[in-house]
């Protein structure tokens, strides 16, 4: 395996001494002296700050990985950016090149340690090298979780590893935090840097990978054009995520899906685990069918998140804040969720019979511990089926409608049935004009018009039930009740 220092902007062999200025001669001589010392003493590594000067020289390095890009399929390469206690800059980019992607470093976590034993060419040399990856956590052992066949650890290496791990506990990494964007401020069609927590990683039956990420803020609601096809839910790659997975999701703030289809990108994200805090650089944001998603760009990288940032980024910190802001009282007849959300604003288009009930999010509802319960929430009606008001009643005259509801945390299917449906619209079933007018008000525009719509926020009451006693969670459904569209 070969490494190349990408911080250099030129290529070629080492310059002759006659072609160097006096200052460059001095720098080159210093680097050569340092390298010669490293060759005489196998137990020393070149400092990262000195490696910038060591072009064309064989060196050994050890450092903490603070940034990782994704392997490129064209040349079987990837770049790690590393730091050590003597380098306070953004890090040294080190490019690994292999004959196959499987031989490249497979970093398990940003903040781990890479050790590369001598015979590294800082630029354009064919000498091979060996490497090893170690867990960066303080107190971990000295067995690498990945190493090249030629790598052999030495006792003195263990001292370097211990010192680096101890140093990282208090190190402040300069990541340019001012350049990071919260999910609440994202814009379609733009690139952004995102500081977030990994909530879940999954794969669908088409071999696409999905990374669900969260930063505690709410993504902007989207305007969208609704055609005849049913809109997808937020938490379904191909089908709804199971309840035990959803219960690991935060119940407030939006979860963004990052879609991964490239083979080499899939290999790189194997290091991502739920609960990790990661900084993504250069994600591309897009909206499809009213849902935000992100994809990797050729310049996307993952960056180190210091431990103290992880602690201040915990969901419990946000929950405590929400509880301090909440002043509502709970009714024993309703769900006893111990966390409530502060009263969200809504348009007033709808009314409910239970104004004393606390507001909860749709993710609260999806992850609630009991199959059956009653809830009050603020949502948008983004789609209804059937679309034609003439088909709202079946042949027996019974009202039947399926709606897709959305808030900042999730989307769900909820039905309106029988008398509750007639109560909801509050007009004669034969009065098509009145039904259409109220439906358009609810959907934020003409339901038959393909112009972009922005449905209003409305309050509604929901209850959950099951259709199969032998599979209560698998057959869990939601229904709207005691809710109506106001006359004005």
Determine phi and psi for 425, rounding to 5 degrees. -85, -30
- 85 with 107, same domain: the answer is yes
The pLDDT value given to residue 187 = 94
- 26 with 162, same domain: the answer is yes
Q: Of the residues 315, 349, 374, which one is the last residue of a structural domain?
A: 315
Decide if 130 contacts 26 (C-beta within 8 A).
Answer: no
In a domain, 322, yes or no: no
- 301 with 361, same domain: the answer is no
Determine phi and psi for 137, rounding to 5 degrees. -70, 140
Residues of the chain with pLDDT under 50: 1-2, 4-41, 43, 120-121, 124-125, 319-333, 336, 338-340, 342
212-224 residue pLDDT tens: 999 999 999 988 7
In a domain, 275, yes or no: yes
90: domain CATH number is 2.40.50.140
In a domain, 452, yes or no: yes
Bridge pairing between strands 476-481 and 458-466: antiparallel
The pLDDT value given to residue 111 = 87
∠ Cα 147 150 153 (to 5°): 65
The pLDDT value given to residue 352 = 95
In a domain, 321, yes or no: no
In a domain, 430, yes or no: yes
* Neighbouring C-beta atoms of residue 79, cutoff 10 Å: 18
First to last CA, the chain: 72
Quick one: tokens of 53?
A: 């000067």
The boundaries of the domain holding residue 78 are 2-168
116-132 residue pLDDT tens: 886 544 554 455 678 99
Decide if 58 contacts 51 (C-beta within 8 A).
Answer: no
The pLDDT value given to residue 226 = 66
Decide if 119 contacts 26 (C-beta within 8 A).
Answer: no
pTM greater than 0.85: no
- 303 with 258, same domain: the answer is yes
- 349 with 404, same domain: the answer is yes
- 124 with 257, same domain: the answer is no
CA torsion angle 64 66 72 76 (round to 10):
0
Q: Of the residues 270, 294, 315, which one is the last residue of a structural domain?
A: 315
Domain count, the chain: 3
Q: Of the residues 148, 168, 188, which one is the last residue of a structural domain?
A: 168
In a domain, 250, yes or no: yes
- 194 with 148, same domain: the answer is no
- 434 with 456, same domain: the answer is yes
In a domain, 239, yes or no: yes
The pLDDT value given to residue 106 = 86
Bridge pairing between strands 373-385 and 130-134: unpaired
In a domain, 155, yes or no: yes
């Amino acid at each position: 395996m070969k490494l190349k220092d990408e911080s250099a902007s030129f290529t070629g062999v080492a310059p002759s001494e006659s072609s160097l200025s006096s200052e460059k001669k001095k720098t080159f001589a210093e680097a050569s002296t340092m390298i010669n010392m490293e060759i005489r003493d196998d137990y020393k590594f070149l400092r990262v700050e000195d490696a910038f000067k060591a072009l064309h020289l064989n060196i050994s390095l050890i450092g903490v990985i603070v940034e990782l890009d994704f392997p490129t399929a064209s040349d079987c390469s990837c770049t790690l950016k590393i730091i050590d206690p003597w380098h306070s800059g953004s890090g040294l980019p080190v490019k690994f090149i292999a004959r196959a992607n499987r031989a490249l470093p497979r970093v398990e976590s940003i903040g781990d340690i890479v050790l590369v034993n001598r015979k590294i060419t800082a630029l354009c040399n064919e000498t091979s090298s060996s490497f090893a990856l170690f867990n960066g956590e303080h107190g971990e052992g000295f067995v690498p979780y990945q190493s090249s066949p030629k790598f052999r650890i030495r006792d003195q290496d263990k001292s370097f590893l211990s010192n680096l791990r101890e140093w990282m506990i208090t190190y402040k990494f300069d990541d340019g935090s001012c350049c990071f964007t919260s999910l609440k401020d994202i814009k379609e069609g733009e690139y952004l840097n995102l500081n977030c927590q990994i909530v879940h990683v999954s794969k669908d039956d088409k071999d696409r990978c999905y990374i669900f990420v969260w930063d505690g803020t709410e993504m902007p609601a989207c305007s969208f054009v609704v055609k005849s096809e049913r809109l997808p839910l937020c938490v379904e790659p191909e089908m709804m995520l199971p309840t035990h997975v959803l219960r690991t999701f935060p119940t407030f703030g939006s979860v963004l899906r990052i879609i991964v289809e490239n083979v080499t990108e899939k290999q790189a994200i194997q290091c991502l685990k739920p609960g990790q805090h990661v900084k993504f650089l250069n994600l591309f944001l897009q909206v499809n069918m009213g849902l935000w998603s992100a994809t990797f760009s050729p310049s996307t990288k993952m960056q180190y998140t210091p431990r103290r940032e992880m602690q201040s980024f915990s969901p419990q910190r946000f929950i405590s804040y929400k509880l301090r802001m909440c002043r509502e009282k709970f009714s024993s007849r309703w769900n006893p969720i111990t966390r409530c959300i502060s009263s969200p604003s809504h348009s007033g288009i709808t009314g409910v019979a239970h104004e004393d009930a606390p507001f909860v999010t749709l993710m609260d509802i999806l992850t609630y511990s009991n199959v059956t319960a009653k809830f009050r929430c603020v949502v948008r009606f983004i789609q209804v089926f059937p679309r034609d008001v003439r088909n709202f009643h079946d042949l027996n005259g019974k009202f039947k409608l399926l709606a897709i509801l959305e808030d900042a945390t999730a989307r769900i299917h909820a039905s309106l049935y029988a008398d509750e449906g007639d109560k909801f619209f509050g007009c004669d079933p034969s009065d098509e004009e009145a039904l259409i007018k109220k439906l358009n008000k609810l959907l934020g525009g003409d339901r038959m018009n393909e112009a972009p719509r922005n449905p209003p926020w409305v309050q509604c009451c929901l209850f959950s039930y099951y259709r199969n006693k032998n599979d209560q969670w698998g057959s869990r459904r939601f229904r709207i009740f005691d809710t109506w569209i106001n006359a004005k």
